Amino acid sequence: MKKYLKPGVFILSSIPFLIISYKIFLNKLGPEPVKEITHFTGEWTLIFICLTLSMSPLKRFTKLTVWISFRRTLGLFVFFYATLHLLTYVGLDYRFSWSPILDDVVKKKYIFIGFAAWLLLLPLAITSSQKMVLLLKNNWKKLHRLIYLIAIFGSLHYIWLSKTIFFRPLVYLIIILVLLALRIKIKNRNINYG
Judged by the rule CB under 8 A, the positions of this chain that interact with another protein are: 24-25, 27, 29-35, 37, 91-96, 100, 103-104, 107-108, 110, 160-161, 163-165
Identity of the residue numbered 109: K
CB of 151 to another protein, least distance (A): 22
Q: What are phi and psi of 161, to 5 degrees?
A: -90, -10
Q: Name the minimum Å distance from CB 24 to another protein.
A: 6
Dihedral angle computed from the Cα positions of residues 15, 21, 26 and 27, in that order, rounded to the nearest 10 degrees: 110
Least distance (Å) from another protein to the CB of residue 16? 17
The string of DSSP codes covering the chain is -HHHHHHHHHHHHHHHHHHHHHHHHTT-S-S-HHHHHHHHHHHHHHHHHHHHHHHHHHHHHH--GGGHHHHHHHHHHHHHHHHHHHHIIIIIITTT-HHHHHHHHHH-HHHHHHHHHHHHHHHHHHT-SHHHHHHHTHHHHHHHTHHHHHHHHHHHHHHHH-SS--HHHHHHHHHHHHHHHHHHHHHHHHHHH-
Shorter beta-carbon distance to another protein: residue 10 or 160? 160
CB of 46 to another protein, least distance (A): 18
Q: How far is the CB of 122 from another protein (least distance, A)?
A: 24
For another protein, the closer CB: 8 or 103 = 103
Residue 13 beta carbon to another protein: minimum distance, rounded to whole angstroms: 23
